[in-house]
């Protein structure tokens, strides 16, 4: 080829590349505009966003069991108002039955024995014929999964309250836990204590409930399989013996001491419903709170009981087509991520962002909660997850709100700055000894508590985790604290927590993709040279798990197998992976381009994205969450950060100047 022809071909290639790049930028700009418009259209007049937060059928199943507690039917006949809602709950459960007869805990997952036992019991209570195909198939699936004996301790505890499982074979939750010395109660995770304290009252005072006459679950039992608590080893044996002691105490112990313990537990739960929307503002605690008040003899018109039921029913999504309970609501979380994503997209100076900032600032927690047991001298601050949950502000939400307030500026500048200052100080005070950050507490890591008989909900503790630590580091560093000692300790924690394959575990999102992108962003924001190799390894891992369609996907089964388990690509996890690559300094690799293309190709004309995957985590291996807005604000964030990096507007990374191959 002549020199002239070669030069002409080269020029043509350059023009084509420029045209492709221009087209891509125009496509991203259009996607950002449509996405932002769609999000602003969903903003409430007060300034917040709140998407649906849904889970599996266990919530509707527990609802039917709660109705049995509150409205003991005459024979097997429910009163008309109760009957109507029970029928709707039963239909909602049946709609999600798997072809094999079971019920799962996450989209695309296998049948779970505990979820299926709950569904079977609820449907049978609702009047579904056990010989009809739905229950017959569910019964077969339960028996194939190990029978009723294989269900977790909370299923058995709930059934035992109605005589449907032997009380002697379920763990005891004594109300005396509120009186144990050394603040032992506060060594349990915040959600565990808010569940266990009302449950302890229910066990102690709710022994008069029974299932309808003739109602049993005997058909779910496997023959020749013990109903007793599972055999234990090591320290678990000690707790097993303690459980026996508790059972003897329940029958023969001092009624005076037991009465004092119940009163202490009653005061504890009542105190923690002030300045909040239900105990712990989460479904199981709110359910047990209602049951506890009823067991204590509160009349049905008592203000505390009326308010408890009102808060509980506020979690219900009820339309002509749908009947679903949410485990809680997520307005502060959704608002903070929306505002941050919109700010990254260049929409900081619009009225909607001011309203968002004012609303967030109004929700700052200014009272001491359970966290202050270990940090008594720290000024209260932080944000909760829900509209009101002042005993339990959480570190993750607080870090995310601080990121949002970088872009969304409140109408009162002095109040804005003061809230930010208090929140930063609160975050610094809530760092754990190992350098990481947990969700609600500090140094909540007594591993011995995982050995108690009722610890199989897999969330007895609230240990530090890479995902929250990464978000806190980014939040602090983007406020000029990259040189702070707390940041150095946080970086050291993340470097030590990195998996051999280069990923990080994600406690609150599924799973290694979530943990990795947040750890990478935190490390990159720190600017510390020690972080570079870790980020490079993580980027290599992200590249290695990209799906053939250009997206990324991960199954909730990753938690069960302690390793990454691939799944079909979805937009939220693809967005996380793109954000991770961007944190690694990737500006234009083939991996990044294909990820961006995946997002652009799947955006709907109205600016939203479709997604069916379960990508949120409640209790690993036990309870998962579907955030209704993840599918919309994370793609916006990914595309916005890509454009910011391309335009050199992104925060400087330790990897700036290094490009991925």
Residue 22 has pLDDT above 60, yes or no: no
Residue 95 has pLDDT above 70, yes or no: yes
Residue 215 has pLDDT above 70, yes or no: yes
In whole angstroms, give the CA distance from residue 527 to residue 532: 9
Residue 645 has pLDDT above 60, yes or no: yes
Give the residue extent of every domain in the chain.
58-325
Q: How confident is the model at residue 447 (pLDDT cuts 50, 70, 90)?
A: confident
Q: How confident is the model at residue 9 (pLDDT cuts 50, 70, 90)?
A: very low
Q: How confident is the model at residue 234 (pLDDT cuts 50, 70, 90)?
A: low
pLDDT (0 to 100) of residue 552: 98
Torsion, Cα of 651, 599, 535, 526 (10° steps): 20
pLDDT (0 to 100) of residue 229: 73
Q: What top-level class would CATH report for the domain 58-325?
A: mainly alpha
pLDDT, tens digit, for every residue of 39-61?
999 999 999 999 999 999 999 99
pLDDT (0 to 100) of residue 76: 55
89-106: average pLDDT: 98
227-237: average pLDDT: 67
**Which of 150-154, 408-412, 454-458 is predicted least confidently?**
454-458
| Plot region of 501 (φ>0 → left; ψ -120 to 50 → alpha; else → beta) | alpha
Residues with a known catalytic role: 396
Determine what percent of the chain is predicted with pLDDT higher than 90.
Answer: 80
pLDDT (0 to 100) of residue 213: 86
pTM of the model: 0.93
In whole angstroms, give the CA distance from residue 515 to residue 536: 15
Report the side by side order of strands in the sheet with 616-619: 53-54, 623-627, 616-619
- Tell me if residue 325 falls in helix, strand or coil: strand
Give the phi and the psi of residue 383 in degrees, each rounded to 5: -130, 145
Alpha helices (H) in 406-449, listed in sequence order: 413-429
pLDDT (0 to 100) of residue 304: 97
Q: Tell the residue number behind the tokens 């961006």, with chain if given.
A: 596
Residue 296 CA: distances (Å) to CA of 286, 290, 400, 654: 15, 10, 40, 59
Q: How confident is the model at residue 236 (pLDDT cuts 50, 70, 90)?
A: low
Q: Tell the residue number behind the tokens 């508590």, with chain if given.
A: 449
Residue 657 has pLDDT above 60, yes or no: no
**Mean per-residue pLDDT of the chain:** 91
Q: How confident is the model at residue 653 (pLDDT cuts 50, 70, 90)?
A: very low
pLDDT (0 to 100) of residue 450: 81
pLDDT, tens digit, for every residue of 315-367?
999 999 999 999 999 999 999 999 999 999 999 999 999 999 999 999 999 99
């Amino acid at each position: 080829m002549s020199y002239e022809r070669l030069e002409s071909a080269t020029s043509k290639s350059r023009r084509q590349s420029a045209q492709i790049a221009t087209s891509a930028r125009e496509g991203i700009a259009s996607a950002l505009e449509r996405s932002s418009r769609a999000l602003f259209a969903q903003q409430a007049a007060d300034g917040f966003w709140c998407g649906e937060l849904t889970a599996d059928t266990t919530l509707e199943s527990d609802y039917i069991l709660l109705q049995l507690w509150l409205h003991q039917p005459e024979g097997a006949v429910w009163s008309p108002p109760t009957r109507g809602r029970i029928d709707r709950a039963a239909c909602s459960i049946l709609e999600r039955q798997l072809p094999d007869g079971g019920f799962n805990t996450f989209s695309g997952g296998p049948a779970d024995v505990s979820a299926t036992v709950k569904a079977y019991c609820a449907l049978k209570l609702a009047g579904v014929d056990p010989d009809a195909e739905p229950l017959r198939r569910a019964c077969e699936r339960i028996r194939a999964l190990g029978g009723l004996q294989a269900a977790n301790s909370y299923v058995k505890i709930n059934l035992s309250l109605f005589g449907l499982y032997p009380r002697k074979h379920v763990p005891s939750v004594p109300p005396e836990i509120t009186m144990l010395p050394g603040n032992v109660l506060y060594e349990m995770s915040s959600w565990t204590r808010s569940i266990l304290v009302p449950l302890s009252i229910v066990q102690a005072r709710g022994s008069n409930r029974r299932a309808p006459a003739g109602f049993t679950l005997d058909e779910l039992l496997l023959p020749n399989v013990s109903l007793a608590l599972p055999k234990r080893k090591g320290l678990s044996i000690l707790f097993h013996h303690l459980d026996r002691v508790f059972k003897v105490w329940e029958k023969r112990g001092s009624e005076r001491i037991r009465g004092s313990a119940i009163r202490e537990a009653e005061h504890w739960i009542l105190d923690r419903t002030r300045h909040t929307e239900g105990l712990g503002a989460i479904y199981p605690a709110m359910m047990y709170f209602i049951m506890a008040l009823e067991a204590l003899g509160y009349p049905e018109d008592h203000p505390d009981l009326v308010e408890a039921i009102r808060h509980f029913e506020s979690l219900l999504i009820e339309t002509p087509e749908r009947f679903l309970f949410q485990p809680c609501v997520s307005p502060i979380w959704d608002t903070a991520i929306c505002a941050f994503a919109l700010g990254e997209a260049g929409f900081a100076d619009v009225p909607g962002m001011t309203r968002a900032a004012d609303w967030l600032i109004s929700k700052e927690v200014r009272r001491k909660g359970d966290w202050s047991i270990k940090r008594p001298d720290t000024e209260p601050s932080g944000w909760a997850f829900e509209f009101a949950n002042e005993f339990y502000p959480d570190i993750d939400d607080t870090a995310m709100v601080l990121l949002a307030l970088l872009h969304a500026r409140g109408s009162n500048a002095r109040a804005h700055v003061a809230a930010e200052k208090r929140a930063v100080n609160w975050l610094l005070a809530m760092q754990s000894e190992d350098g990481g950050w947990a969700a609600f507490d500090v140094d909540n890591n007594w591993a011995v508590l995982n050995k108690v008989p009722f610890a199989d909900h897999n969330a007895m503790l609230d240990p530090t985790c890479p995902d929250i630590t990464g978000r806190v580091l980014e939040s602090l560093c983007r406020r000029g604290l990259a040189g702070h000692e707390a940041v150095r300790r946080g970086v050291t924690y993340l470097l030590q927590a990195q998996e051999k394959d280069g990923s990080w575990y994600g406690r609150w999102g599924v799973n290694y993709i979530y943990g990795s992108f947040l750890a990478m962003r935190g490390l990159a924001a720190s600017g510390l040279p020690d972080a570079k190799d870790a980020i490079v390894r993580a980027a290599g891992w992200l590249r290695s798990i990209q799906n053939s369609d250009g997206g990324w996907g991960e199954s909730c089964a990753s938690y069960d197998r302690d390793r990454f388990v691939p799944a079909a690509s979805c937009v939220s996890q693809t967005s996380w992976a793109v954000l991770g690559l961007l944190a690694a300094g990737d500006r234009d690799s083939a991996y990044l381009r294909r990820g961006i293309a995946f997002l652009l190709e799947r955006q709907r004309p109205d600016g939203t994205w479709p997604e069916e995957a379960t990508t949120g985590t409640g209790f690993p291996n036990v309870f998962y969450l579907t955030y209704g807005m993840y599918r919309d604000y994370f793609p916006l964030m990914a595309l916005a950060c890509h454009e910011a990096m391309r335009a050199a507007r992104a925060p400087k990374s330790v990897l700036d100047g290094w490009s991925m191959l």
